[in-house]
Amino acid sequence: MLVMRLVELLEEIPFYNASTSLEGIQIDSIEMDSRVNSPNSLFVCISGYTQDGHDFVDQAISNGAIAIIAEKPVKTNVPVIMVRDTARAMSMLAVRFYHNPTRKLPLIGVTGTNGKTTVTYLLETIFNHNKQKTGVIGTIQMKIGDETYPVNNTTPDSLSLQRFFSKMLHKEVDQAIMEVSSHALDMGRVHGCEFDVAIFTNLSQDHLDYHKDIDDYLRAKSLLFAQLGNTYAKHQPKFAVLNEDDPSSSVLKRSTAQNILTYSCKKEADVTAKDIRLDAGGTSFTLKTPVGDIEINSKLIGMFNVYNMLAASTAAIAKNIPLAVIKDALESITGVNGRFEPVDEKQNYAVIVDYAHTPDSLENVMQTIKEFAEGKVYVVVGCGGDRDRTKRPLMAGIALHYANRAIFTSDNPRTEDPAQILKDMTTDLSRNKADYDVISDRKEAIEHAIKLAQKDDIILIAGKGHETYQQIGLVKYDFDDREVARHAIKTKGI
């Protein structure tokens, strides 16, 4: 168990005011959740969107807090340390308390609108094939070796991150890999993380409920590359891995002082895919790199997965992974959880579940399906509540453009009225209403699509992918697109 004198811990913060003497106080943990029972803890008051930690000081103390970090006055009998910004202070304190784990632990960060989870999974497989133990933090879970732990955000808060990285070091992880969201970058959740490689996948419309416009979204993404640092160490070079085919990469190149490696399917770049061959069984291409060329025959389907494989391969090359290992790893992968994942009960039509929840990702998946579809294409899709409303008609338009029939339904409506979300999606549709159905209940929508399907048809169930819940109001209910589809297939019969 970690123990640190409070005055020693606070040396990380240059200016603060304490309500009383801090001598003799020892801290066993740092907490930001007042519900956590943690004796001898330091409680940090964080002001969130819906709750303010300053309102829960008494609960934190009853659960063991013996000192408080605050940015506004609180009434309590335990020592209060006042700082200007508690979130920023928490990052600094967490790094100090956990002895700066990413200074010892190599760390790859992956950012972009689409592909982050797949790229982290590909990298995990590549490093494992190179006999290296990995730790992965992402949308689905945190994973250390074969052990998994739940996460609440694509990128956890700064305190949880340092705790996770410390655990990875303790469990002798060789390489950490993390999805880094624009929210996390903008909110400073990755402050204190020392990245060795930063990967950019692509940029398209998403999260405009949070970011004021696409330029602000890109600015947030660029922080990862700026945070690679401004100095150089020969024994530990750092790299920005950029998608040369995405125009946003030009901004990211100017954002970093570090080495740049580019990848591309269309342009001259450091790493390229040539002679690309796509079909319903997988993808083949020649991987051309600064250290040689090699043939890749992957079971992953679609151009978007070619880009994902290029991103992962380029980062692996930056980390000196041999090409033969990269090839073996990529060719061993049959799929990624919730990403273009088939639901196969030996039926004579295809059902695919995918996380596609942005206009760009939905179009990528639909284009891929159309390339090998022999029968009709159906898509079940909705849009999340309390999120970017401007993408709703775009998603609906793309669904109708590529599918023979669309079934519009609820995604995670959260605190919005599902009927209003569906109205936002369909109000401006120019296509005949005979080409789509509106079924608010997601289970019924999936069952309806499966009832319609005939031999050689393809159903895409988009938007939730790996998620095993549906959030309605503030409650998360058990819901897995794959299991709902599986049950519907069995009920229908082959």
pLDDT digits (tens, 9 = 90+) for 215-245: 888 999 999 999 999 999 988 899 999 999 9
Given the structure tokens 């790859």, which residue do they identify?
Answer: 108
| 228 burial type by CB count under 10 A (0-12 exposed, 13-18 middle, 19+ buried) | buried
For the chain, the farthest-separated pair of C-alpha atoms sits apart, in whole angstroms, at 76
- What burial class does residue 222 get, using C-beta atoms within 10 Å of its C-beta: 0-12 exposed, 13-18 middle, 19+ buried? buried
pLDDT (tens digit per residue) in 112-137: 989 999 999 999 999 999 999 999 99
CA distances from 14 to 7, 31, 162 (A): 12, 21, 20
Strands 107-111 and 175-179, bridge-based pairing: parallel
Give strand pairing partners of 452.
Answer: none
- For 4-8, 169-173, 230-234, 244-248, which range has the lowest pLDDT when averaged over its residues? 230-234
- SS3 call for 453: coil
pLDDT of res. 213: 74
Cβ contacts of residue 106 below 8 Å, gap of 6+? 174, 175, 176, 196, 319
Looking only at the bridges linking them, the beta strands covering 292-298 and 282-289 are antiparallel
**Which of these, 113, 140, 112, lies nearest to 124 by C-alpha position?**
140
For the stretch 16-73, pLDDT in tens is 999 999 999 999 999 999 999 999 999 999 988 678 999 999 999 999 999 999 999 9
> Residue 211's pLDDT is what?
44
Contact 34, 50 (CB under 8 A): no
Q: Residue 96: pLDDT above 80?
A: yes
Residue 431 has pLDDT above 80, yes or no: no
Can you give the three-state secondary structure of 11-56, one letter per residue?
A: HHCCCCEECCCCCCCEECEEECCCCCCCCCEEEECCECCCCEHHHH
Average pLDDT over all residues of the chain: 93
Q: Cα separation of 309 and 97, whole Å?
A: 37
The tokens 């660029």 sit on which residue? 222
Residue 209 pLDDT more than 90?
A: no
Q: How confident is the model at residue 326 (pLDDT cuts 50, 70, 90)?
A: very high
Burial of residue 174 (CB within 10 Å: 0-12, 13-18, 19+) is middle
Amino acid at 316: A
pTM above 0.85, yes or no: yes
pLDDT confidence of residue 137: 95
Q: Give the count of beta carbons closer than 10 Å to the beta carbon of residue 492.
A: 14
